[in-house]
Amino acid sequence: MRKPLMAGNWKMHKTIPEAVAMVKELKSKIADVKDVEVLICPAFTALYSLANEAKGSNIKIGAQNLFWEPKGAFTGEIAANMVTDAGCSYVIIGHSERRQYFGETDETVNKRIKAALNAGLIPIVCVGETLNERESNVTFKVIEKQVRDGIKELTAEESAKIVIAYEPVWAIGTGKTATPDQAQEVHAFIRKVYSEMYGSAAEGTRILYGGSVKPDNVAELMKKEDIDGGLVGGASLEAASFEKLVKFGK
C-alpha cells in the first residue's frame, strides 16, 4: 500500500556535468523499475539540468532545502516556486546538517513545510536524535518533539502528502547504521505519534530510514514493516551502488 521511496541526498557534491552523467547512467540501469519511486536531490545548481535529463524516466528530482518566503530581499535564498520551476516534485526539509550547521529549528522546519506544500512540493521531513541523546535515553522524547512541533498545523489533505525520514544523527556519514530493529522501533513510534496528530493518514505516510544505508544492509532494513524506503547520502553518489539500493541490494 505504501510505495517504497529511495531518495539520494547528494549534499554539496557534483558539478552539473557530473550530475547529468550520473543520471544518464542511472536511467538505463533502473529503466525497468516500477514498484519503487526513485528520487535524486542534487545541489540547487544542478536541479534544472537534472530535471531535463530525467524527463520521461522513472527518476524524480528534489531540492535539499528552500526558504519559506515567496520572494523578496533574501540574498542567497531560494523560494518554493523556484524549486518547482526548476522541475522538482520533492524537497528535503530539516536535514540534521541544516539543524547542526545552519540554525534550523522545528519552527523553521514547519514554515518550510508549509511553503513547500503551498507550491505543490512533497516535503521529506528529517528527524533524528544525536548520539548523546540516544545514550541519555531521550530518543523518543526528542523525536516526538521534532514530529509534533515540526509537522504541526497541517490540513488533512496536506498531512497525507508528507514523507518523514528518520535519520539518527550518529548514523549519518559515519558508517554506523541503526540495526533494522532499532530503526523499526523508532519508525513505529513516529507512525504512532503521526496518527495521534492526523489519524488514519499516518497509515499511508512513508517513513524513510537514513544513516549509512548501503547495498549490503538495505535489504534487511527494507524488510521491516514500518521502513518504507531510504534517504541516502554517500551510497547514492555512484550509479552502480544507487541501482543496488533501488533494487534493495539485489
Catalytic residue numbers? Answer: 95, 167
CA nearest neighbour of 38 among 225, 244, 201, 250: 244
Q: How far is the CB of 8 from ligand PEP (least distance, A)?
A: 9
Decide whether 79 or 91 has the Cβ nearer to ligand PEP: 91
Position with the least CB separation from ligand PEP: 233
The interface with ligand PEP within residues 145-164 (CB under 6 A) comprises none
Decide whether 121 or 201 has the Cβ nearer to ligand PEP: 121
SS3 247: coil
The interface with ligand PEP within residues 205-244 (CB under 6 A) comprises 210-213, 231-235
Tracing cell 523525536 back to the chain, one arrives at 143
Q: Is 93 in the site for ligand PEP (CB under 6 A)?
A: no
Q: Is 172 in the site for ligand PEP (CB under 6 A)?
A: yes
Q: Assess contact for 140 and 189: CB atoms under 8 A.
A: yes
Q: Is 168 in the site for ligand PEP (CB under 6 A)?
A: no
Rounded to whole angstroms, the Cα distance separating 24 from 209 reads 26
Which stretch in 19-27, 31-39, 112-120, 204-212 sits in contact with ligand PEP by CB under 6 A?
A: 204-212
Q: What single string gives the DSSP state of each residue in 11-31?
A: TT---HHHHHHHHHHHHHHTT
Rounded to whole angstroms, the Cα distance separating 194 from 100 reads 24
Q: Is 9 in the site for ligand PEP (CB under 6 A)?
A: yes
Q: What single string gives the DSSP state of each residue in 50-62?
A: HHHHHTTSSEEEE
Query: Crossing angle of helices 239-246/16-29, nearest 10°?
Result: 40
Q: How far is the CB of 75 from ligand PEP (least distance, A)?
A: 26
Q: How far is the CB of 248 from ligand PEP (least distance, A)?
A: 15
Residues that bind ligand PEP (CB under 6 A): 9, 11, 167, 172-173, 210-213, 231-235
